[in-house]
Every structure is written in C-alpha cells, then in structure tokens.
C-alpha cells in the first residue's frame, strides 16, 4: 500500500520513518524539503504538495503543529481535497480542534473519503521508539484497515468513537497532564523554599499520592537543569487553549486549565517557548529565589 505522510517535524520524522521501516511504500511532503532528506535516503518518495500526496496514495497521514496548518493542508489551493479519490483514507495525527476535524470529515464524506483523527501521546521518545498511545476517532472499518500502519508507530491503539473523539481524548489527557506539570513545579518550589532537599521530596512524593507522569521526568530534566523539548511550551500553550475552547463549547468550566494557561503564558513571556514543558518552573524559581536542582556532583 502506498502511504502518504505530511509534516516531517519533531514527531512526524520519527512516525514516518517507522512506517517506512515497517515495509510500506512512503510518499512524504513538508514545507521544509530538507526535513525529508533522511527519509528520501531510505527510499521514500517526495511530493511537492499535499494534492500530489493524495493523488499518489490511498492512505495519507498528517502530523502538523496547529489546526490552521491542518486546514491549509486540506483546503488550500494545492491541498489534499484537490487530490482525493473515492475510497481514500485521511488520518490526521495532530492535536487538533474536534470541530475542525468533524467539518473535514463531513466534507470528505461527500467525496467518498473517510477521515480519522488519531492524535498521539508519548512525546518524541515514544515516536522514535514506536511506543506511542494513539487515540482513533472515526469509522471502525477504516481503522481496522490501517491498523498495521498504526502499530508501526504505537503500541496502544484506542478506538474512541466518531471522528473528533480522538482529539477530545487527547485534549483531556493534556489538560490533566499539564495541570500535573504546573502543580508539581509549584509544589517543588514550595518544598525547597521550605527547607527540603529536592531528592528527598521526590522520593516521598513519587511513592505517595502526589505521584504523576510529569514528576517522573524530574530526575532527568528539572533536577539537572535540562529543559530541552520533549514537548515545547508553545505547543502545550496551543493544546491548553484547545482544551479550554472545548470546555467553553460544552459549557464545562475549567478553572484549573485557566491557571495552567497562565503558567504557560508566563513561561513564554520569559522567553522559554521553545523549551520543554518542565521549564514552567523557571519563572517561579526566579520569583522565589530558589532552584530545584541536585548538587553538581550528583549530576555526573
């Protein structure tokens, strides 16, 4: 099966590589042609536009940074819609707006094309290792048809309902995860300011009810002053905004989500937008005069 992939960024470059290494013929496109060079060296084909990808492939995946990027890839003058054929399947793996993906799915259905949304969790490490969690919204038959391709990218495949539900699941996950990230930062700054050693506090919390996924990263990130992405703060800010939009759409108040957005805004204002989400702790450290770090000798 000829498979297309659009968006060869931090996540997409690993996901598309795993599709290629699983034995599928792959056609790729990105706004930056140089990003595709390693894939082309491994045997992938290049397409000059999303329309060309759709014309060449029956199944097309995309992994893009914003809903606006997805909209342009689908509806642009040289977009996927211009190249779609009856029976095609389009799978958007971006963290996207559920309402946008549902509109795309309705428009595609009129052309005989099936749309799935399949956002992922697991970060760049999960993408590189093929261990992503993938949340798939849309037609179950189409999901089963591409299951082998999905399994090249992820170990945990969850069908979750109609198109758009994949992104509802992803936004809820990120709302919870980013809230844990913010409160972990605040708690550790408070603990260190109050006289605790970071390692002692981590040993306690990681074995108690305060344990969470974000905290698991601290020994390799915050404690060592390493804040490279990972999951960029700018992307986290986009995701929390989408989650808050979803809450507004369904009249669900999300005050904790609003507080998380303020933390991310503060980090972006401090020039940390391209750092990993753990870096939300840095403005708080600066304001309180403490650093949540291990001694240098423990870093070696």
Token pair of 202 as six digits: 């981590």
Query: According to CATH, what is the number of the domain 2-162?
Result: 3.40.50.720
**Catalytic center residues:** 170
Residue ranges, the chain, pLDDT below 70: 297-300
Query: According to CATH, what is the number of the domain 169-299?
Result: 1.10.1040.10
Note the pLDDT of residue 297: 56
Note the pLDDT of residue 229: 84
Note the pLDDT of residue 218: 96
Note the pLDDT of residue 255: 98
169-299 matches 2-162 in CATH topology: no
Note the pLDDT of residue 298: 45
Note the pLDDT of residue 299: 46
Reference 240, options 256, 251, 228; nearest CA is: 256
Length reported for the chain: 300
Rounded CA separation 54/148 (Å):
20
Rounded CA separation 26/267 (Å):
38
Q: Which helix (H) or strand (E) holds 276?
A: none
Token pair of 56 as six digits: 């060449």
* Extents of the domains making up the chain: 2-162, 169-299
Note the pLDDT of residue 295: 84
Reference 102, options 249, 252, 261, 258; nearest CA is: 249
Are the beta carbons of 177 and 214 closer than 8 angstroms? Answer: yes
- Grouping H, G, I as helix, E, B as strand and the rest as coil, residue 59 is strand
């Amino acid at each position: 099966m000829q498979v297309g992939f659009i968006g060869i960024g931090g996540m997409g470059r690993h996901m598309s590589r795993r599709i290629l290494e699983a034995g599928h013929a792959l056609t790729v496109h990105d706004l930056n042609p140089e990003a595709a060079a390693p894939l082309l060296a491994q045997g992938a084909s290049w397409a000059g536009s999303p329309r060309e990808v759709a014309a060449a492939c029956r199944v097309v995946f995309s992994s893009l940074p914003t809903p606006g990027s997805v909209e342009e890839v689908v509806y642009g003058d040289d977009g996927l819609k211009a190249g779609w054929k009856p029976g095609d399947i389009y799978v958007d793996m971006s963290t996207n707006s559920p309402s946008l993906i549902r509109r795309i799915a309705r428009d595609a259905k009129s052309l005989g094309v099936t749309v799935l949304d399949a956002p992922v969790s697991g970060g760049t490490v999960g993408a590189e290792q093929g261990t992503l969690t993938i949340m798939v919204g849309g037609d179950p038959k189409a999901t089963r048809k591409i299951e082998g391709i999905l399994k090249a990218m992820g170990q945990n495949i969850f069908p979750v309902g109609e198109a758009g539900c994949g992104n509802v699941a992803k936004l809820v996950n990120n709302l919870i995860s980013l809230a844990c990230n913010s409160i972990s930062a605040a708690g550790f700054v408070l603990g260190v300011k109050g006289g605790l050693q970071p390692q002692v506090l981590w040993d306690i919390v990681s074995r108690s009810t305060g344990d969470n996924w974000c905290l698991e990263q601290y020994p390799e990130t915050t404690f060592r002053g390493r804040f490279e992405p990972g999951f960029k703060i700018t992307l986290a800010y986009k995701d929390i905004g989408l989650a808050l939009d979803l809450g507004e759409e369904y009249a669900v108040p999300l005050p904790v989500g609003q507080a998380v957005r303020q933390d991310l805004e503060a980090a972006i204002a401090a020039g940390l937008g391209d750092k990993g989400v753990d870096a939300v702790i840095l403005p708080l450290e600066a304001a309180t005069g403490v650093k949540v770090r291990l001694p240098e000798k423990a870093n070696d």
